[in-house]
Structures are given as structure tokens and as C-alpha cells.
Amino acid sequence: MTTLICAGGSGTRVLEAVLHLCAAGLGPSELRTFVIDPDGANGNVDKTRKLVNRYQECHEAFKTDNADGHPFFCTKVDLLNSAQGLRVWGPVDKTQKFKNLLNYTDLSPAQKDVVHLLLTDVELDMPMDVGFRGHPALGAAALALLPLYKDDPLWSQFAQAITSEVNERETRVVIVGSVFGGTGASAIHPLVRYLRSLPQTNREKLKVGAVALVPYFRFSASEAAAGGAHAQAGEAAKSEWFAPASRSAAEYYEHLRTQNDWDFDAMYWLGDDTPVRVDYCIGGPQQDNPAHFVDLLAACACLDFSASPPGARACYYSGPQETIDVPDGNILTWDDIPMCALNTDTVRKRLHHFQLVGAAHLGFYGPLLKDPRLLGSPHCVPWYFDRFADGTAQLSNKDNQERIDSLSTYFRENYFPWWDQIHSVGQDRTRLLNRTAWLDGDGSPLHIQLNRLGNLLYPDTVARHGLGPVDALFEEVVQSAAEVAGMTNPSRTYLSILSQAALKSVERENRGSIVRGA
């Protein structure tokens, strides 16, 4: 099993990306995950929590029970027996000031002097209601106390799971967070040290990777100053700190390497040279930064490590190309997604496959299943008539309708909006999928353009527009309905049929593009 520990807001957004990739069938068979964020009520955490719940719904509804089935939503997400969904752990009490965490008033004068050497008065008096606000010194101090939380339900369950797993098989843990903010920057190294202390036997079976994000977004300092009392008091995070903070982090980890104090099996450094501007927010529910392609790269790094941890115990980098003169600026294409264990073509094909399933479901098959004419004249839709119009396999009953609704909601509210955010970065910088496939005439999401079903990958090519692929996919669906084995519920069978048909279409399109390329 792979464990993904997400630290801070950036780490949480990476979890969002990982879940979308797992939905597309790129994830491990099981994924244990939780979030470390003292600001557990921030918008990103809330959004990810809802996404986890929706993913779980889809996993339960659509997980396949035979090898013939589709690959989607197959990753089982383990939330450490949480009944409330995604667990978000914070090392501080929201009602505390930071000095309370250190038990400052009971410290000796000498100890207080040491504290003042490391922390300012503003930091000591900082309320912990919205996290560490980009102050890694606070986070590092708080998370250095991690071993003291061994009786906390989350950490005790986690420690128990890891120690028992390493006795059976190789266990992989990935920690992801930014190194330029507060929580992520302060969590990575204390966490790795803690993890290494857990197994008493078979320590070599514990593989630990870290994904360190360097600046890829910014906000205006003047907006921060106008952001209220916290900002004026100098407590708020500032974009100007990001670069020096990243540099310090890099120097720190380099120091660990040179001193042979390197606990990582792999460390991935990811960032962007043109940070996207986001609205300033000190934290809380308003902190809801959009997804960025760096999140996607980080998610790919997590899954790459999960698939097969590299043995070199080295650092891996992904950033803008500096030596090649790119006329269009720094862009992201499929070839720019760094992979070691995974294969770029496989990832592209799988995402194309899932994209086609999503677009076809939202734009055609979902509405078809809701169409009252279908119940009256099911013979007009042979695949439905053959597989779902009869007896216990009816797709129209309440349970199956709810399952289909959860799939539609996932695509409509989570998956396509997330890709839209990924492709909104810069001007045409992300060149993975064809964004016009889900935009309406005014350029606003989400309206599936069926005439782009054959042009779901970048670029948007007029010659590939048209409704022919809708008809071709329908024919494939009819054919696949005769081939796909039945599952334990009709919704799973439906997704398997659509998946197999979409896969054939993608393969045909790929063959066509190879021929065109030749």
C-alpha cells in the first residue's frame, strides 16, 4: 500500500490531483492518505474533503470486480478508519497563540532567550486559527514535537499500520508539500524522521519519497497589506519570501545530503518560473487557490514513486527549460511530464481514454440514460436494450440512477473544472488537453462540445472537428456491449462498456495520428 501525506494547502491540492489521476486509473490499488494542516477549515481542504467523499462514492459504485472491467476508480482510498471522511490533522489548537504551544510562560529565562533567538515577538503572539501563515519557523517548531503525538488516534493508527505492513511487504510513503510556505516547508523533514523511527524490523522495506514544491504562485504584497490587521502586523505570508524560503530549504536539504543524513529514497523538486497570480487570502474558507499544472506534475511524481521507488536515493527535478529557446515561452506538453516508472505514452493514453469517457458520458450517454424516451423505446438503443432493459439488470432503478448521478456529478463538478483550472494557467501554456472541448461559446465551462470528441487532446484542430466520432463511439458501445462481462451492478457494467468503446476509439485515433505523423 502507498501512503500519501499532504502537508499544507499546496499538498492538499496535490491530493486533489492524485485523486483525479486515481479516478483515471493511474493510481495504486490502495492509497492511504491524510492531510496535515493547522488551518483545516481552509477552502482547499474543504474542497478536497468533498472530492474524497465523491471519489469514495464513485469507487463504491464503479469499482470493477473482474479483469474485464474498466480501470477507473479502482484505487481504494484508506482514510484510517475515519467516519468523517478525509482526516485533517493540525499540530496546534486553533484557539492557541503560538507561544502557548511552546509552553512559553513556563520556560526558564535561558530557554526564553533561545526562543527569542529563533522567533520574533509577532510570531510568538500569532494566533493559530489559520495555520502558520507562511512562517516555516513556527511549523518546524510545532512539528518537531511530532513524536509526542504518538497517542493521537491518527498517528497511533498510522504507526501501527506502517509497522505491520513493513513486516509483510514493501511500504511506500510519499510526503508532499511546498517548501516556500508554512506547513509544508516545516513538515517534510520532521515527518520523514518520524517515519524512519517507526519500524523496528525490516526498515529497508519502508520507502519514503518527498515531493517538494517550489514557488508556482504569488499574490500581491499590497493586497496582502490591505488584507487586514494580520497582514499589517506582518504576520501574513508574503510572496517576496517565497524565493529565499525555497533557497533556504534547498540549502538545508543539500546540507542533509552532504552530511549523510539523507532519509529520502527520492525527492522530487517541482516548480514554475512564471508564478501564477492568485487572490491574497490569509487562510480560512476563502483560501481556495485554483489548481495548477505543478499540482499535476506533483501528483505524477507521487504515483511514479508509488509505482516503483527509484533506488538511487537521489533528487529529481522538473521545471522550466532554461537552455532551449522556446518561441512560445515556457509551455507544458505531455513530453514535459517527468516519469521514471510510469510511461508518458501510457499516462497520456489513459488520460485521453478517461477524458473521452467523461466527455461522452456528460455530453451524450448521461443525458440518454435520463431521457424518458429510452424507457418507452429501449429497442432504439441496442446496447441498453441488450444489457439494461431487462429484469434485475435495469439501469433505470433508483440505486443505479444514484450511481450514475454520482459519476455525472464527479465529471461535471470535479474533474472537468479541475482540468479547466490546470489549462487556465497563463496564456495557452498548458498543452495537454483541448480546452475548447468543454467550454461553451462564451468561453465558460462546462459545456461538452460533442463536435470535439475526436479532438480531446491539444491542439484544437478544425480538421478534426465534427460529429463523426460521436457516431463511431456509439457503434463501438454497441459492439462492446456484446463483449463486456456483467458486473455485480449494472452501473459498473455500463462504465465498463463505455470504457471499452472509448479505448477502441482512442486506439484508433492514435493509430490515425501515427499514420498522419508518418
Partner 1 sequence: MGRLLFWMSKPDSGVPDSSWVGFLDLMAAMTALVTLVTVVITILCYSSAAGRRKVYVLDDLFASYTPMRWILLAIPAALLAGGLCFWRYEGALDSTEGRGGVALQIILLNGMVSAMIAYLLIILVHRFTPAKFRYRPAPYLHKRRVGSA
Q: Which residues bind partner 1 (CB under 8 A)?
A: 364, 367-368, 371, 373, 375, 377-382, 385, 389-391, 394, 450, 467-468, 470-471, 474-475, 478-479
Distance CA 456, CA 451 (A): 10
Nearer to partner 1, 119 or 381 (CB): 381
Nearer to partner 1, 190 or 469 (CB): 469
Nearer to partner 1, 101 or 470 (CB): 470
Nearer to partner 1, 168 or 371 (CB): 371
The DSSP-derived string for 200-247 is SS-GGGEEEEEEEEPP-EE--HHHHHTT-HHHHTT-S--HHHHHHHHH
Shortest reach from residue 481's CB to partner 1, in Å? 9
SS (H, E, C) 299-336: HHHHHHHHHCCCCCCEEEEECCCCCCCCCCCCCEEHHH
Q: Directed axis angle between helix 183-197 and helix 8-23, to 10°?
A: 70
Nearer to partner 1, 62 or 364 (CB): 364
Shortest reach from residue 390's CB to partner 1, in Å? 6
Nearer to partner 1, 396 or 510 (CB): 396
Dihedral sign computed on CA atoms, order 239, 243, 245, 246: positive
Shortest reach from residue 371's CB to partner 1, in Å? 6
Closest CA to 179 of 247, 281, 260: 247
Shortest reach from residue 391's CB to partner 1, in Å? 8
Closest CA to 421 of 51, 32, 6: 51
Nearer to partner 1, 132 or 365 (CB): 365
Shortest reach from residue 470's CB to partner 1, in Å? 5
Nearer to partner 1, 379 or 516 (CB): 379
Distance CA 213, CA 230 (A): 25
Type and span of the H or E element at 176: strand 171-178
Distances (CA, A) of 296 to 13, 119, 316, 426: 9, 35, 16, 15
Distance CA 506, CA 70 (A): 14
Nearer to partner 1, 169 or 370 (CB): 370
CB 40 within 8 A of CB 32: no
Nearer to partner 1, 75 or 408 (CB): 408
Shortest reach from residue 7's CB to partner 1, in Å? 47
Nearer to partner 1, 308 or 377 (CB): 377
Shortest reach from residue 363's CB to partner 1, in Å? 10
State the virtual CA torsion across 332, 334, 338, 339 in degrees, nearest 10: 170
Shortest reach from residue 378's CB to partner 1, in Å? 6
Nearer to partner 1, 380 or 485 (CB): 380
Facing residues of 207 across strands?
Answer: 172
Distance CA 171, CA 176 (A): 17
State the virtual CA torsion across 179, 184, 186, 191 in degrees, nearest 10: -120
Shortest reach from residue 396's CB to partner 1, in Å? 8
Shortest reach from residue 257's CB to partner 1, in Å? 59
Shortest reach from residue 380's CB to partner 1, in Å? 5
CB 101 within 8 A of CB 92: yes
Shortest reach from residue 499's CB to partner 1, in Å? 18
Type of residue at 235: E
Closest CA to 91 of 154, 47, 48, 175: 154
Closest CA to 42 of 123, 133, 113: 133
